[in-house]
Structure 1
Amino acid sequence: MTKEEIAELVSTKGAIQRREADEMVEVLLEQIKKTLEREDRIKITGFGNFEVKRKADRRGRNPQTGEALTIQSRRVLTFKPSAVLKNSINGES
């Protein structure tokens, strides 16, 4: 599903103009992005949690040459689905 399809669905289900739905979706996604950039957690009840975690430097190797190297620290976005979402996907109540 694309952002355009989401906006179309919001417009149809919410009985609002398409332009307003586009703006709503854009604002929502921008706020999610800014929240994650600050490394704050996002919890959507019945859906799941988004969280940015830090990974430390670690040892690795170049698979082509076998040369040892250090993989730099980084931030990783994680998503943990809620039990409600997991059950819904698996067809359970």
Structure 2
Amino acid sequence: MSTITRAHLVDLLHTRIGLSRQDNSDVLESVLENIAASLESGETVKLSGFGTFAVRKKGRRIGRNPKTGEEVAIQPRSVLIFRPSQMLKSALRAAPIKEKRVVEEVT
């Protein structure tokens, strides 16, 4: 399984749109910066047909240290959540599963 990087996205844009790699890089960075700024200001970002990004506030709570079982206070924090659209969910369900093959050597 491979990872999609910014450079890979820029190359895809270059291939499909035809702008220079620098222009595509600038567009991609601008889009990502706007998404990040919106999330930082507490706004929800909805990309139609893809999904919704939002920031959820988690309150203070008590957790446990898994090793010792001791109670530990967990401070309030903000977490990023993503909810995929129905279109994306359907596409993922229909896509064939690509499995990694593990070959064992016999000595």
TM-score bucket of the superposed structures, by smaller chain: over 0.9
Are 2:82 and 1:82 equivalent residues in the alignment? no
1:64: how far off? Answer: 2.7
Greater C-alpha radius of gyration: 2
Aligned to 1:18: 21
1:58: how far off? Answer: 0.5
**Cα deviation code 1:24-77 (max 9, x no counterpart):** 111111111111111100001100000000000001122233221210010010
Gapped runs of 5+ residues in structure 1?
Answer: none
Give, as a single letter, the amino acid of the residue that structure 2 aligns with 1:56. Answer: G
Q: How does 1:1-93 map to 2 (within 5 A)?
A: 1-91=4-94
Give, as a single letter, the amino acid of the residue that structure 2 aligns with 1:52. Answer: V
| TM-score w.r.t. length of structure 2 | 0.81
The runs of 4+ residues in structure 1 deviating greater than 6 Å are none
Aligned to 2:103: none
